[in-house]
Amino acid sequence: MNVIDPGLPPVYGLVNAAGRLIEADARLNELNARAGGEIGAPLAVPQLATLVRLVQRLRILVSRGIVAADGDDDVDMWVRAEPVGDDGVRLAITGWKLRQPWQPTTENGVRERDFVRSAANWLWETDSALRLTFLSADAGVRHGFDAPPLLGQPLTRLFILAEDSSGVFPILGALAMRQRFAEQPAKIRATGRPVLLSAAPRLDIEGSFAGFAGATQMMETAQPLAPIVPQTAELGLPAAFSTRLDKALRAPLGRIIANADSINAQSEGPLRQDYADYAADIATAGRHLLGLVDDLVDLQAIERPDFVVAAEPIDMADVARRAAGLLGVRAAAVKVRIDRPSVQESLPATGEFRRALQVLVNLIGNAVRYSPDDGMVWIRAERDGDFAAVVVADQGKGIAIEDQARIFDKFERIDATEPGGSGLGLYIARRLARAMGGDVTVDSAPGQGARFVFTLPYRAL
């Protein structure tokens, strides 16, 4: 690569609504070309592409520092990404500075890396955001996947991770503690071949976490991967694990969100607008993580054999109105209108109010997330034989028939590159609905939006 002078003027670029780089100054164009891209093609620098998608989703200015790979080197840069036009993003990049690539900084780091590699069939490495930065040269050819397009993608685009025999994900604990992990069960996504993963943390020259140096041990295909079982099995997270997770993360995340909101509101005095916007970005990410904690705690609860719900008299139309009200601000922020049942409508049913509200908040929240700007989400409450039904319909891109079953599976998402949740929401919603004697179903087709139906037993007055 060319050594870049941080004192040079800003570099500009323009990305259109489809994520394609349509304008770029010379330095950005050259960096993008070395990453395999070109003008008119999708932006090929993964860190920049991720930032562009974030700005397109939030429709706010985001300014942050990133580290981009350039050949064997890394480049520090400060990127100001601003929404323009119809979902386009204008990039202004300053502070380009060569960073020395990672290498083990201590004798202990070398020993840990060698320990991980000792039992490996092939190797992989990630950056601090768990995006793949290296794969053994012949790994894809030998094991049935296309390796080059995976570089720069999340680790989960290569592997489907699973719980170990104690019901936990070793990689999660290692990520939180920045330490080594071993025997993480997984499958190669492209082939379904079972593997065991292990990795040692990578540290940069400043001693900060820089990702994992990992190894893959192939398992005999005849040997079942114990944690991957039919979805009907009662296999949840241990109660102690969820309790620790809840206590360990909820309070610090709450503080992060509160402080970021305070910075964004400039309650302590004026602040540069890009810093204030960056604080809003932090708060949004914090709320996303807090939602994931909630999902994991709910997952542990609903998969316990003794999980029960209350059988209360509820009004499904009223629950739908309340759920829509909770999501009104979010919908307005993305220019989506919610057409809810009128205050005169009533639909008596039997279920637990809190859990029914949780199901509808999930369904309506998904409808808002996948609706286009100026779109509409329709909510209808109607009787269907012995059931009370709430229908949530959107104008999104729809769901293919072959994907409609798996969207209700645990940790499944149709497109992992799209902004969204943890892949647990619909799984939890359906489990809750069925626990109350009802169900959640979907009717959709590509390009025609999605129509989710939540049913509970009808209660005659």
Alpha helices in 7-153 (DSSP H): 26-34, 46-58, 107-117, 139-143
Does one domain contain both 57 and 170? no
The answer to whether residues 41 and 20 touch, using CB atoms and an 8 Å cutoff, is yes
Residue range 417-437: average pLDDT?
78
Q: Token pair of 59, please?
A: 């429709």
For residue 18, give the amino acid letter: A
Does one domain contain both 333 and 449? yes
Residue 227 lies in a domain: no
Domain boundary among 80, 99, 118: 99
Distances (CA, A) of 41 to 53, 57, 71, 187, 367: 15, 20, 20, 31, 30
Over its C-alpha atoms, the chain yields an Rg (Å, rounded) of 24
Provide the CATH number for the domain around residue 119: 3.30.450.20
Does one domain contain both 135 and 198? yes
Decide if pLDDT at 296 tops 70.
no
Higher pLDDT, 25 or 326: 25
Torsion sign (Cα): 31, 285, 425, 380:
negative
User: So what's the pLDDT on residue 345?
Assistant: 94
Range in 145-149, 242-246, 271-275, 398-402 with the lowest mean pLDDT: 242-246
Does one domain contain both 437 and 319? yes
Does one domain contain both 181 and 290? no
d(CA 187, CA 366): 28
**Number of domains observed in the structure of the chain:** 4
Range in 102-106, 203-207, 265-269, 421-425 with the lowest mean pLDDT: 102-106
Residue 223 lies in a domain: no
Distances (CA, A) of 382 to 110, 167, 400: 65, 40, 26
Taking each helix axis from N to C end, the angle separating 273-302 and 239-264, rounded to the nearest 10 degrees, works out to 160
Does one domain contain both 163 and 297? no
Does one domain contain both 366 and 387? yes
Decide if pLDDT at 15 tops 90.
yes
Does one domain contain both 30 and 130? no
d(CA 47, CA 76): 11
Residue 59 lies in a domain: yes
User: So what's the pLDDT on residue 51?
Assistant: 84
Residue 226 lies in a domain: no
Domain boundary among 99, 118, 135: 99
User: So what's the pLDDT on residue 87?
Assistant: 83
Determine the structural domain holding residue 270 and report its residue range.
239-302
d(CA 137, CA 384): 58
d(CA 205, CA 104): 8
Does one domain contain both 387 and 444? yes
Distances (CA, A) of 263 to 63, 77, 282: 15, 23, 10
Q: Could you tell me which residues come within 8 angstroms of residue 75 by beta carbon, excluding any fewer than 6 positions away?
A: 1, 4, 31, 67, 68, 69, 96, 97, 98, 99
Residue range 444-454: average pLDDT?
87
Does one domain contain both 250 and 292? yes
Does one domain contain both 337 and 451? yes
Q: Please report which confidence band the pLDDT of residue 437 belongs to, taking 50, 70 and 90 as the band edges.
A: very high
Residue 414 lies in a domain: yes
Residue 408 lies in a domain: yes
Most confident of 23-37, 61-75, 144-158, 196-210: 23-37
CA neighbours closer than 13 Å in the CB half-sphere of residue 220: 2
Q: Token pair of 23, please?
A: 């304008």
Higher pLDDT, 224 or 151: 151
Does one domain contain both 324 and 435? yes
d(CA 173, CA 261): 28
Provide the CATH number for the domain around residue 431: 3.30.565.10
Residue 3 lies in a domain: no
Domain boundary among 64, 99, 134: 99
Decide if pLDDT at 441 tops 90.
yes
Higher pLDDT, 33 or 302: 33
